[in-house]
Copies of this chain bind each other. A is one copy, B any other.
Amino acid sequence: MSEQAIAYLTSHRAELLVKLNQFLSIPSVSTDSVHKKDILEAADFIVNYLKDLQFENVEQMDTGGHPLVYAEYNGAGPDAPTVLFYGHYDVQPVDPIDQWDSEPFKPEVRNGRLYARGSSDDKGQVFMHLAVFEAYLKTEGRLPVNVKVCIEGEEEIGSENLYRILHEQSEKFAADFAVISDSGMIAKNQPTILYGLKGFTGIEINVTGPDHDVHSGMYGGAIRNPIMALNHILASMKNIDEVVTVDGFYDDVEPLSDEERKLIDQVQGEDYQEATGVKETASEKGYTAKEHTMARPTFEINGMYGGYQGQGTKTIIPSSATAKITCRLVPGQDPEKVQQLLEDHVKSVAPAGVTVEVVKEKLSAKAYKVEPNHPLIEKAAKSYTKAFGKETVYVRMGGSIPVVEWFEAIYNIPIVLLGFGTPDDRLHSPNESFPLDSFDKGMETLVHYWSEIN
């Protein structure tokens, strides 16, 4: 029954791309309040699409933050399974804007890739699901499965309100399993099943010294420099061997079995040099780059700033310095506990003469793992292989999707991660893009999957 739907997607490819470009043209940046209006416009786009498809109970749920789009399709009948489809319509900030080769919110196709913020993470992949729903409904008149749609606008700011809503209205979102397309394949056109995700936590460190920037000639030697103080604090948290030196950080880490190290070793990993331009990898002592990214916790400084940044020299001791830190966690680690360990460490090494404040990021999630041989996973692998004409591989990845942990915690249902991104998509970076190959074959995969399920 899937052939007609696939034919529809092929014959309507142009219109669908135009519609996708409308969606990607909305600058729905969730972290910056100036984009509040755009966020609502992006939510409206999805609502209107679902209403056009005759979905039921389509609504924008008030979260207290950015709205969550909810909708139902019950046309598959009581005997068909119900899938909870999750995605997000918000995107990351675009800075540094000057490093984009084309406008982040003016989609442009170059060399078979669609360039736009959100093209891969996650608006592009959300759109593919909507297009596949359309293809089935316009050809078969029905979907093979019942659907509950849950598309939020706060994923890039830690899904601040989603957990509470899922928890409070668990009946409303209840389903037999969940499908999420907010991840990637390990290589272009290499079907990939994600069976493990990392958890996540973070802190911000603010170091304050003099109550204003002071002359380095007059006060150098008399007061502590906040930037240097922050350097000493941070350098004490991870050593040059990429080993985190915060007491207890590795205590609860589930050890990496020889079997899994073999599995990881077999995965044709991506070319880090090609993807990042870095000639030499740097990983936790005793582990390969693939092992560290897939299955070992990480500690990264995402941003740091203090003092003069302009051209030329400004001979000051600055009044403050700030660092933003996030950690990716593995099964066994508790985000809140790790966050506390980080704060305790910072406080324990804070030098005299400056004030050191630690702000705990709300953003937090446990790691996740599912059994690769679960039937719903095997059907996904089969659909991938059918669409891409290639064997599907099973991997764990370093990314974090808090909602995955919450679906498991609240509903205890299987979660299938059908990702179509590629390592070259430059998520969260200038020149984010998505291959049109993934767009076409990804939708074909989804068509196959829904018919497999039924």
Contact = CB atoms under 8 A, between A and B. Distances in A.
Contacts of A413: none
A234 interface: yes
Given A223-B278, A303-B309, A398 B324 contact: no
| Count of identical protomers in the assembly | 2
B314 A276 contact: no
Interface in A426-442: 426-431
Contacts of A78: none
A222 B302 contact: no
Interface stretch (A40-48, A54-62, A102-110, A292-300): A292-300
B397 A217 contact: yes
B212 A429 contact: yes
A306 B301 CA distance: 9
A366 interface: no
What is the size category of the interface that chain A forms with chain B?
35 or more
Contacts of A139: none
Contacts of A218: 184, 293, 397-399, 423, 427
A312 B213 contact: no
A168 to B, nearest CB: 24
B222 A232 contact: no
Interface string A275-309: 11110111110010110110010111111111111
Interface string A298-328: 1111111111111111111110011110101
Contact of A213 (B230, B235, B428): B428
A165 interface: no
Nearest to A352: B280
24 contacts: A93-B308, A198-B217, A213-B428, A214-B275, A215-B399, A215-B427, A215-B428, A216-B300, A216-B326, A217-B328, A217-B399, A218-B397, A218-B427, A220-B300, A220-B328, A221-B287, A222-B281, A227-B234, A227-B304, A228-B238, A280-B352, A313-B361, A314-B324, A315-B326
Given A32-B310, A93-B308, A313-B324, 16 more contacts: A184-B218, A198-B217, A210-B278, A215-B428, A216-B302, A218-B399, A220-B398, A222-B290, A228-B234, A232-B240, A234-B235, A282-B351, A301-B307, A302-B308, A302-B317, A303-B307
